[in-house]
Amino acid sequence: MSAGDPIDPSVGIAGVLPVERTAGVGVYGPPVWLPLRTGLDGGEVKVGCTFDSHGSQHGYECGGHHDRWAIDFIADTGTPVYAAGAGFATNITGQPGGSGFGNVVRVDHGFGISTVYAHLAGVAVDPAGEWVDETTVLGMVGSTGSSSTPHLHYERFALPSGATSVGQEASVDPGPLFACRAGFLVSFPQVAGFDSWQGLAWGSLTVASDGPACAEPTPEPAPAPDASASSSEDAPAGADADDEAPGPWATLIAPTLRIVGHSDVWDAPLG
C-alpha cells in the first residue's frame, strides 16, 4: 500500500508500518535489537553500568560514569557487535561525537534517531559507510578510548524536534532490546524482571540472543492435497501466495513494542 492509503482496520497497524525486518539499501529501521548475541564462550553477557545505575567494577563508579541513557555490556575483546536495527553505519572514530569512545560506530536509523557502539577493538564498517541491519557485524568489543575494561558502550540518541545538527543529539531511553532465545522473542531488561534500563545495579542481569531469526515470517504451510473442495478448485498454480503478507514487524514486533511503549515515529508512513 502507499503512504496515502487509509488504514484498513482489518490489518490494524500492519497497514501503516513502513519497514520490514529484512532491510535493504535505503531502508531505515528502529534500533530495537540487542546488539550482542553471546560472549565468545557462548555464554551470556553481563550488563554493567546503565543510566543512573550504581555499583562499581573495573575501576569506575557507575554513578559518575553514566549520567545519561547508555548501557555497558561487559564482554570479552573480540565479541561481535551487531547493529541494533537497520540504517546507515559510519565509523566516527576521532570525529565529533566520537571523543573518548575509542573506535566507535554510529548508525543513523532515520527519523532523527541514531545509535552508537563504542570502545570497539576493531571496526568492520566500510570506510565510506554502509547500510546495515541487525544481522550486520559492526565491529568487535574492545577497550579503546576512555575505557578500563573490554565492554560495549551502547547508546541511543535522538535529535530534538527543530534541531538540525548531529551535535544537538540527546541521549535517550534505548527502550526494550529484543532477542530471540530458544525460538521465542524476548525483550531485555523486561524478561529479567526490570521495567527499564535505568537505575540498575551493576551486574543486575545478563543478556544473550540467538539472533533475530525468530522474527522471520512463518513459511506458508503447503496446501493439503485434498483442499480443493471449496471454490479454489481452478485457482491458477502459483497464484499470489505472498499477497503482501505482513512481515514480522507487523505481526510480532510492532504489537509487542506498542505494549511496552514504543515511539510512534516508525509507524508514520514514509515520504
Piece of the chain touching Zn ion by CB under 5 A; list 78-86, 147-155, 194-202, 214-222: 147-155
Which CB atom, from 23 or from 141, has the smaller least distance to Zn ion? 141
Which CB atom, from 112 or from 145, has the smaller least distance to Zn ion? 145
Which CB atom, from 22 or from 103, has the smaller least distance to Zn ion? 103
CA 233 – CA 208 distance, rounded (Å): 48
Site map (CB under 5 A) of Zn ion, residues 59-78, x = contact: -------------x------
Which CB atom, from 69 or from 131, has the smaller least distance to Zn ion? 69
The Cα-based distances of 8 to 1, 4, 14, 257 in angstroms read 10, 12, 9, 20
- Element holding 255 (H helix, E strand): helix 254-260
Neighbours of 234 (CB within 10 A): 6
The one among 21, 153, 156, 262 contacting Zn ion by CB under 5 A: 153
Report how far apart the first and last C-alpha atoms of the chain are (Å, whole number): 13
CA 51 – CA 196 distance, rounded (Å): 10
Q: Is 134 in the site for Zn ion (CB under 5 A)?
A: no
Neighbours of 98 (CB within 10 A): 19
Q: Locate 58 and state its grid cell.
A: 573495573
Distance in Å, CB of 198 to Zn ion, minimum = 14
Which CB atom, from 16 or from 74, has the smaller least distance to Zn ion? 74
Distance in Å, CB of 217 to Zn ion, minimum = 36
Contact set with Zn ion (CB under 5 A) = 72, 153
